[in-house]
Structure 1
Amino acid sequence: MSRYAELPALDSAFALDPAAVESFARHGHVRLSAVATPDEVPPYRDVISGAARRHSAETRPLEERDTYGKAFVQIENLWRVDQGVERFVTARRFAGIAARLLGVQHVRLYHDQALFKEPGGGPTPWHQDSVYWPLDTEDTVTMWMPLVDLAEDMGGMQFASGSHREKELATLGISDEAETHFARLLQDGRHPVTAVQPMQAGDATFHRGWTLHRAQPNRSATVREVMTVIYVADGARVAEPREPWHHSELASWMPGLGPGDPVASALNPLLTGDRSAARSD
């Protein structure tokens, strides 16, 4: 028997309020409570944090890192190296929420990321995820779930509501330049910025790829342990790379695919209502 056999299944449907779907459509983000229950989170926290420690390549002290490196320790595609993480990342409950928020029947996995912000870790500057992704669709959504309770001083998320409607606001990745540029842009108030609020382990935010967002620094003595899963609507295709980093994104998350191909590589399984039906084409 697999040592992961007794992990919670995470297959039951989540009671998603239609008002949350409407709020997501209007604002480009939504926060949901108890997406994973207090009984379900601890065993997955052990699995994910253990895999993150084993596979992290970051060894530099905080003071030797740039802004991106101080923002978080980032470990990607953990579902490919740990079967327990795979159960979490491909969970039909989470995929079902993503599909309903996007208004599509099925989603595919784009990739996962563990984002651990250490004590003293810096802010994550304002950015739009979709700047990084060579995809021909706006139908992407990221689930951002803390594996530990987050107090207000632990590096919580903020969103610029409605910013997703403007698509690409600037070709800027996570950087000091992006923080300055977007903070200036938001001064006119047309995209209200949400306040940082405490979250319980298992709560989650969901945001669209073009939704402008950032995270505060971790001023606590506790590591902010967060797991993210990025979904893309089934049927999306690879876009022509427009930026230098799009080539590495394509190789990392959609190996073997090129412009015009469906996003359906071995790393992009179809996530349906039945885990046994998850497949790649």
Structure 2
Amino acid sequence: MMNMEPILTPEQIAFYQENGFIQVDNVLTLDEVAELAEAMEEAMTVDAEISVKTDKPDGAYFKVLNQKVNVWRDQGSMGKFSFHPRVAQIAKELSGADRIRFFHDHALWKMPQDSKHTPWHQDLVYWPMNEPGALSAWIPVDDVDENNGCMKFVPGSHKLGKLTGIDLVNPQNIFDFTQGTDISEKRAVIVPLKKGSCTFHHGLTFHYAHANKTDKPRRVLAVIYMPDGTTYNGAKHFITDNRFQVNDPIKGGTFPLLTK
């Protein structure tokens, strides 16, 4: 953990606060991307001891996302990227927090040909947090576009607050809950990325990922950050189960402080 000089401009921070997402280019070097890709390949192919794989290859959720959570706990080489100081500093600046903590990482593969889109949803509804300030960094190790599973976001949707959890296998239409507002899928912004660049999005921002129609996996590391002092809301979650009482701060060795 170290003090770093600011990375973003005031205009970038204002864009994120207004829209709930931002693209930041050249966050990692190409050498770092290659190292991360190698580390994630190992993390996704070896048997897990502590990290959690969320579905089996023949499962319905696997077609949406082949996902493993907290890969840093099994593969030490992943810690360099899950706790990357530059990425954490950007998250801190976007959140406006004095200090930022790690919640968890997850390696996200969209498998070739057989994948499905990830439906529109908010993230915070799945996280056991009282406060709304958490955000995600989404870091591809491949170039991503509409053919292999890039993201799209609805600007300003984070201002609606927490809505409802969406079943990612048999999804409801999240826009059924936005009637009477100006939030609609017509406003969605598609964000293709070159490897080394990434997006950050607020935990309440509506987002979606296209299916992977190519013959190679679409590989992404996502890292979730929370402002220091974020508290547990009591909801069942395998990351926090049996660790905290309601309204306790979420902290400790598996939720390290990443910035000063």
- Relative to the length of structure 1, the TM-score reads 0.82
Following superposition, the deviation at residue 183 of structure 1 comes to 4.4
Q: Hey, what does 1:60 align to over in structure 2?
A: 57
C-alpha distance in structure 2 between counterparts of 1:12 and 1:237, whole Å: 26
> Is residue 2:20 matched to residue 1:43?
no
Give unmatched runs, 5+ long, in structure 1: 1-10, 274-281
| 1:24-78 per-position Cα deviation (integer Å, ceiling 9, x unaligned) | 10011111111112222101211122112214755534xxx32x32111000101
Query: Take 1:60 and 1:46, find their aligned partners in 2: how far apart are those partners?
Result: 21
One-letter identity of the residue aligned with 1:154: N
Deviation at 1:184, TM superposition (A): 4.4
Separation in 2 of the partners of 1:268 and 1:248? 14
State the SS of the aligned residue for 2:42. helix
**Alpha-carbon distance in 2 for matches of 1:87, 1:126:** 30
CA contact (8 A) 1:163 1:211 kept: yes
Instruction: Tell me the residue number matched to 2:231.
Output: 237
Quick check: 1:133–1:249 contact (8 Å CA) kept in 2?
no
Distance 1:156 1:175, change over 3 A: same
Please state which structure has a larger fraction of its residues in helix. 1
Contact 1:125 1:176 in 2 (8 A): no
2:148 partner SS: coil
- Report Cα offsets for 1:63-106 as digits up to 9, x if no partner: xx32x321110001011111110111111111100000001121
Q: CA deviation at 1:13?
A: 5.7
Letter in 1 for 2:108: L
1:1-281 correspondence runs (5 A): 15-55=7-47, 59-61=56-58, 65-66=59-60, 68-120=61-113, 121-178=115-172, 181-184=173-176, 189-191=182-184, 193-241=187-235, 246-251=236-241, 256-272=243-259
Tell me by how many angstroms 1:12 deviates: 7.2
Contact residue 166 and residue 174 of structure 2 kept, 8 A: no
Paired with 1:60 and 1:31, the residues of 2 have a C-alpha distance of: 31
Identity %: 30
The residue that corresponds to 1:3 in the other structure is none
Q: Secondary structure at the match of 2:220?
A: strand
Structure 1 residues 73 and 185: alpha-carbon distance in aligned structure 2, compared to 1, 3 A threshold: same
Listed one character per residue, the Cα deviations across residues 207-255 of structure 1 (whole Å, up to 9, x for unaligned) are: 11111111010011121000000000001111132xxxx243522xxx5
**Does the 8 Å CA contact 1:256/1:265 hold for their aligned counterparts?**
no
Could you say what the CA RMSD is over the residues aligned between the two structures, in angstroms?
2.2
Query: How many Å apart are 1:111 and its aligned residue?
Result: 0.3
Inter-CA distance 261–12: structure 2 relative to 1 (3 Å threshold):
closer
Unpaired segments ≥5 residues, structure 2 = none
Alignment-mate amino acid for residue 73 of structure 1: N
2: CA distance between counterparts of 1:105 and 1:200? 30
Provide the secondary structure at the position in 1 that maps to 2:238: helix
Query: How many aligned residue pairs are there?
Result: 250
Partner residue in 2 for 1:4: none
Give the secondary structure class of the aligned counterpart of 2:240: helix
User: Within 1, Cα distance between the matches of 2:65 and 2:8?
Assistant: 30
Distance 1:232 1:174 in 2: 23
Which stretch has the larger CA shift, 264-273 or 49-58? 49-58
Deviation of 1:195 after TM superposition, in Å, equals: 3.6
Shift of 1:15: 3.1
Distance in 2 between the 1:200 and 1:109 partners?
25
Secondary structure of the residue aligned to 2:30 is coil
Measure, in 1, the Cα distance between the counterparts of 2:177 and 2:249.
35
Q: Which has the higher contact order (CA 8 A, sep 6+)?
A: 2
CA contact 2:151–2:192 (8 Å) conserved in 1: no
